[in-house]
Chains A and B, each alone.
Chain A
């Protein structure tokens, strides 16, 4: 009898999905279990299929939603599309889904939402699966111990036509996270801290596995926030081993079997975690215990500091240019820097626990009149749940706009955007120049920091608001 070589979580998923192993002149053919599509990165893929006379191989493994360019406002009951082009993208997706028999969550559908919020909600995101989408934040689904990564549109066409992708095997990077998150410090602060410490290119060529006590202590939504921003650390995918927390989340979800079927799945999923003695190509460790709420001061997600820390002096020309773009001075904290807009939303932080956390800060208080607060739930389901709990009332009474689900001001394609030089404290994932509107300035933060900043009308520490 041979003793099996210890394998990582990623190794096990890779091994189970090699439809054709790598050869001397080609990478492996990897089978895709679940393919998620949306209106912005799919139209050219369907056009490619049409040009070549190809059909969608597995419409039953493909799910479509609208999220990126759709409006979050309705005027007289009708969606207020930014322009004809964005409306056309949505109609094009509708036509493509109809032609190929792909289930589509349209605007107003109870299952619609940001693609990375609805996958887990529906139970389509399951441990051990391969999941792809034409969106780099597909890494979110790795929270369940799935290998999930963003792909380009030509690859979307490949998956539509063959349900497969050619993949060079990525290296593995284990990040061991110890310590306990302090009060007012969340998974968002944790991932910002990790990216600050190891850099925006640390994960290039790698799949990250987040491990250790601080990761195990996170609930599923926190784990999704952590894995979501793996791409901001340069990695296409970030994974967390499935455990009881994962199984509990998945039980009863629409696309998860119940009864014996569920027990069988749990037994299978329980074999996925990295074996004792399995080696990562690289290993890093991080102490979460000393983190405070994080904010970004620059134009990439690695340019961040603790809320009470002084913005560091620029180390190079890029950092100088970033401070200049942001209109921020080094040498003192960001605290008190006026915020024109606060955005609570996106696939990073628009799930129900994010909205509950923000509502705890906002309850019974009013936002600063100079600051616009936009709260955009991640999905129709999150919206219904929030409304059932009365969170929408908390937000409205505080002075916030409570919108319909979508990507909204994270990517600013739908008209929700900053004006030049406006500053937003945002729970989204990217603070790139112009990301939230040309000339706009983004400070990335957690939902509680964003909510506190809306009250103060300026970048604020959430912790005093959480003590009472």
Chain B
């Protein structure tokens, strides 16, 4: 995982609330055994019509959205399944951050572990971003700030460990592997208790 410190990009706006993981990547695209290549199936049933043609009116398909790395989404983004294919599809497509008033729990964790920054901001700041699709903004992961199109900035919180994972590119697996002696001690206590007569 590459460190993520600062993201400067245009935005693309998808205002619907409760966008679920079945919309982010429909289940029929989960039949692979690899992490890469899922960007082509991102929002598949919204981006393309029944004949497979791109829908011109879908925000991601507009010319000005090409190359945008920040997705401004509605509330409760990423609800539904635990499929990590959802952040894989978003990052493979080119997104580096999702900005929303609230992001679903499992998705949020999956996002951090894949270097996709989950940015939860207050409603007034969110409204400012919704109203200006294509705005150039900056997300500063270290400072926990998002610049707003009309000037000023909004703060966002990340658990300290998640922030460090993003900034260093080191994930929880490294941390857990370093705690092996403590895990072993705990585990032996547990196994002994279970084996006790």
Contacts and interface: CB of A to CB of B under 8 A. Distances in A.
B172 to A, nearest CB: 5
B83 interface: yes
A420 B84 CA distance: 26
A320 B81 CA distance: 24
B79 interface: yes
Contact of B105 (A88, A205, A318): A205
A439 B28 CA distance: 13
B176 A435 contact: no
B45 A434 contact: yes
Given A31-B183, A204-B104, A433-B23, A152 B80 contact: no
A393 interface: no
Given A20-B182, A47-B33, A413-B28, A438 B106 contact: no
A57 to B, nearest CB: 8
B145 interface: no
A434 B33 CA distance: 22
Interface string A139-179: 00000000000111111011001111110100000000000
A438 B43 CA distance: 12
A258 interface: no
Contact of A19 (B27, B84, B177, B182): B182
A430 B173 contact: no
B33 A236 contact: no
Contacts of B28: 412-413, 417, 438
Contacts of A164: 176, 179, 183
A253 interface: no
A304 interface: no
B124 interface: no
B50 A150 contact: no
Contact of B159 (A31, A54, A92, A168): A168
A165 B23 CA distance: 28
Given A26-B161, A236-B105, A420-B50, A158 B83 contact: no
Chain A interface size range: 35 or more
A234 B105 contact: yes
Contacts of A386: none
Interface stretch (A1-9, A37-45, A183-191, A275-283): A37-45
Contact of B180 (A158, A162, A200): A162
A135 interface: yes
Contacts of B109: 152, 155
B92 to A, nearest CB: 13
Given A25-B164, A204-B105, A438-B45, A154 B183 contact: no
Chain B interface size range: 35 or more
Interface stretch (B2-10, B13-21, B127-135, B136-144): B13-21
Contacts of A134: 82, 84
A150 B114 contact: no
A88 to B, nearest CB: 7
B110 interface: yes
A158 B173 CA distance: 6
A156 to B, nearest CB: 9
Contacts of A162: 173, 176-177, 179-180, 183
Given A136-B81, A154-B84, A158-B176, A40 B30 contact: yes
A27 B161 contact: yes
Contacts of B27: 411-413, 435
Contacts of A435: 22, 27
A29 interface: yes
A167 B31 CA distance: 29
Given A19-B186, A43-B33, A25 B160 contact: yes
Interface in A265-319: 300, 317-318
Contacts of A433: 22-23, 45
A85 interface: yes
B26 interface: yes
Nearest to B1: A154
A52 B174 CA distance: 11
Contacts of B22: 430, 432-435
Contact of B80 (A205, A321, A432): A432
Interface in A16-34: 19-20, 24-27, 29, 31
Interface in B94-149: 102, 104-106, 109-110, 113-114
A68 B81 CA distance: 13
A285 B107 CA distance: 28
Given A25-B164, A300-B18, A152 B84 contact: yes
Contacts of A321: 16
B80 A136 contact: yes
B63 interface: no
Interface in B152-197: 159-161, 164, 171-173, 175-177, 179-180, 182-183, 186-187, 190
A171 to B, nearest CB: 11
Interface of A: 19-20, 24-27, 29, 31, 40-41, 43-44, 47-48, 52, 54, 68-69, 82-83, 85-86, 88-89, 92, 134-136, 138, 150-155, 157-158, 161-166, 168, 200-201, 204-205, 231, 234-236, 300, 317-318, 321, 411-413, 417, 420, 430, 432-435, 438-439
Instruction: Report, nearest first, the 3 A-B pairs whose CB atoms are least far apart.
Output: A43-B33, A150-B82, A19-B186
26 contacts: A25-B164, A40-B30, A41-B82, A43-B33, A44-B33, A44-B84, A82-B31, A83-B31, A88-B33, A92-B33, A134-B84, A150-B106, A152-B87, A154-B113, A154-B114, A154-B171, A155-B113, A162-B177, A204-B76, A318-B16, A318-B17, A412-B28, A413-B30, A420-B50, A432-B80, A434-B23
